[in-house]
Amino acid sequence: MAPVRTEVPVPPARVWDVLADGWTYASWVVGASHIRSVDPGWPAVGTRIHHSVGVWPAVIQDATEVVAADPGRSIDLEARVWPAGTAHVRLELLDHGDRTTITMTEQPRRGPLALVPRFLVDALLIPRNRETLSRLSDLAAAR
């Protein structure tokens, strides 16, 4: 999938602080509407954020799980939104001292979304992920 990038005028530790606070997930992930719970130890591998996706009354209860993490540098997530499917999401933080480049990639893995042609998925996900990174950047800058 096409990566989306943004630069935020704060060091990676400030961005990581937002990522490491699972309760902020619905504030920066476009589509997530409510956090029901966050597993103790988030963002350790295997921990989950239990969230709702969508707008009432069409709300889906699901979870996002950490599949890999390098604190301060990257996090890999499996985002579930059944029955639509799952996606692998990777956020990478590139350190420039007092600023950070954040790169986000998202790849549908299972379910109906994985069957959609790549150019259509990109057309949907790139604008969504740009907004997601804009929100993440704003939260990191405000900390």
Residues 76 and 64 sit within 8 Å (Cβ to Cβ): no
Q: What does the pLDDT read at residue 58? A: 84
Question: What is residue 88's predicted lDDT score, i.e. its pLDDT?
Answer: 95
Mean pLDDT of the chain: 93
**Cα gap 50→73, rounded to integer Å:** 23
pLDDT at 102 over 80: yes
Superfamily of domain 4-142: START domain (3.30.530.20)
pLDDT of residue 121: 86
Q: What is the DSSP letter of 134?
A: H
- Domain regions of the chain by residue span: 4-142
pLDDT digits (tens, 9 = 90+) for 107-136: 989 888 788 888 888 888 899 999 999 999
Q: What is the pTM of this model?
A: 0.92
What b-and-e string marks burial along 16-43, b requiring 16 or more CB atoms within 10 Å of the CB? Answer: bebbbebebbbebbbbbeebeebbeebb
- Per-residue model confidence as pLDDT tens digits over 21-56: 999 999 999 989 999 999 999 999 999 999 998 888
Q: Which of these ranges, 59-68, 98-107, 120-129, has the smallest mean pLDDT?
A: 120-129
The pLDDT assigned to 2 comes to 81
